[in-house]
């Protein structure tokens, strides 16, 4: 019998990670803070476009959150944009431990070029994506729900592994749903 006498929990486990990405100012830092519950863990940028470095956060042993740089402001040079794209592609393609991509999109401005590019990459490499439609408090319930349904319909056409929810760091709504997705991707390890 396979595994008899072996303690599965004692076997070394490769670390898993989930990447967080979004255009500058999409609310990524606020979402990371709300989801991890660790204030100050992810810096909240006051000036647009300040989040440029890749940060790793250890959520639980062997489970990492990777904070990818965002961009999207005209003032950022093409050279820097290309460099960031290279970094993102690198993370997405050397993804042996990468379980999924959380993509933050401002609910009022979904599917910008950056988002479409991320979805294209993820689809290409078979990486599941969960979209947080951030700052949902900026819309009334009806329009927020309408946007969510539209976004889900668009995602369905691309991949069944692409899902979406509404999220507000300000109102602290959508946190449980985001946790459930992380647990699904991390396989309830920990
Ligand atoms: P990042 O650049 O994607 O990391 O975005 P930040 O988390 O720094 O947020 C960008 C701006 O959006 C800041 O002014 C935040 O206060 C604001 N913001 C972030 N989350 C929310 C939210 O849930 N509701 C509202 N109304 N504003 C938010």
Sheet holding 162-166, edge to edge: 55-60, 63-67, 16-22, 98-106, 129-134, 162-166
CA of 189 to the centre of ligand 1 (A): 30
Q: What pLDDT is stored for residue 70 in this prediction?
A: 72
Nearest atom, ligand 1, residue 44 CA: 8
CA of 30 to the centre of ligand 1 (A): 6
d(CA 50, CA 1): 55
Local mean pLDDT, 10-residue blocks, the chain (190 residues): 48 76 93 81 46 72 82 61 69 73 97 91 92 98 98 97 98 97 80
What residue's CA is closest to ligand 1, atom 25? 135
Mutation choice for ligand 1 from 27, 51, 173, CB with most ligand atoms inside 8 A: 27
Q: What pLDDT is stored for residue 58 in this prediction?
A: 82
Cβ atoms of 88 and 6 closer than 8 Å: no
d(CA 57, CA 17): 9
CA of 11 to the centre of ligand 1 (A): 41
Q: What pLDDT is stored for residue 48 in this prediction?
A: 46
CA of 45 to the centre of ligand 1 (A): 8
Q: What pLDDT is stored for residue 51 in this prediction?
A: 47
Q: Tokens in use for 114?
A: 């950056």
Q: What pLDDT is stored for residue 95 in this prediction?
A: 56
What residue's CA is closest to ligand 1, atom 19? 27
- Burial class, 42, CB count within 10 angstroms (exposed 0-12 / middle 13-18 / buried 19+): buried
d(CA 114, CA 190): 32
Buried b (16+ CB within 10 A) or exposed e, 68-87: bbbbbeeeeeeeeeeebeee
The separation between the first and the last C-alpha atoms of the chain, rounded to the nearest angstrom, is 26
Cβ atoms of 177 and 165 closer than 8 Å: yes
CA distances from 180 to 22, 176, 183, 188 (A): 20, 6, 5, 9
* CB distance 16 to ligand 1 below 6 Å: no
Q: What pLDDT is stored for residue 13 in this prediction?
A: 60
* CB distance 97 to ligand 1 below 6 Å: no
Q: What pLDDT is stored for residue 121 in this prediction?
A: 85
CA of 44 to the centre of ligand 1 (A): 8
Q: What pLDDT is stored for residue 81 in this prediction?
A: 67
Q: What pLDDT is stored for residue 47 in this prediction?
A: 43
Q: What pLDDT is stored for residue 184 in this prediction?
A: 95
């Amino acid at each position: 019998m396979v595994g008899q006498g072996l303690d599965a929990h004692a076997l070394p486990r490769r670390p898993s990670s989930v990447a967080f990405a979004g255009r500058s100012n999409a609310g990524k830092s606020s979402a990371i803070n709300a989801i991890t519950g660790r204030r100050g863990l992810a810096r909240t940028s006051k000036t647009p476009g300040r989040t440029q470095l890749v940060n790793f956060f250890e959520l639980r042993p062997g489970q990492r959150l990777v904070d990818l740089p965002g961009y999207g402001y005209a003032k950022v040079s093409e050279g820097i944009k290309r460099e960031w794209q290279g970094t993102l592609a690198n993370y997405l393609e050397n993804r042996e431990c990468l379980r999924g991509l959380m993509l933050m999109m401002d609910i009022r401005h979904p599917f910008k070029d950056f988002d479409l590019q991320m979805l294209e990459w993820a689809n290409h490499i078979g990486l599941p994506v969960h979209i947080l439609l951030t700052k949902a408090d900026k819309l009334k319930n009806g329009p927020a729900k309408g946007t969510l349904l539209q976004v889900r319909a668009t995602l369905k056409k691309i991949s069944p592994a692409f899902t979406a929810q509404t999220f507000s760091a300000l109102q602290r709504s959508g946190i449980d749903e985001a946790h459930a997705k992380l647990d699904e991707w991390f396989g309830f390890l920990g």
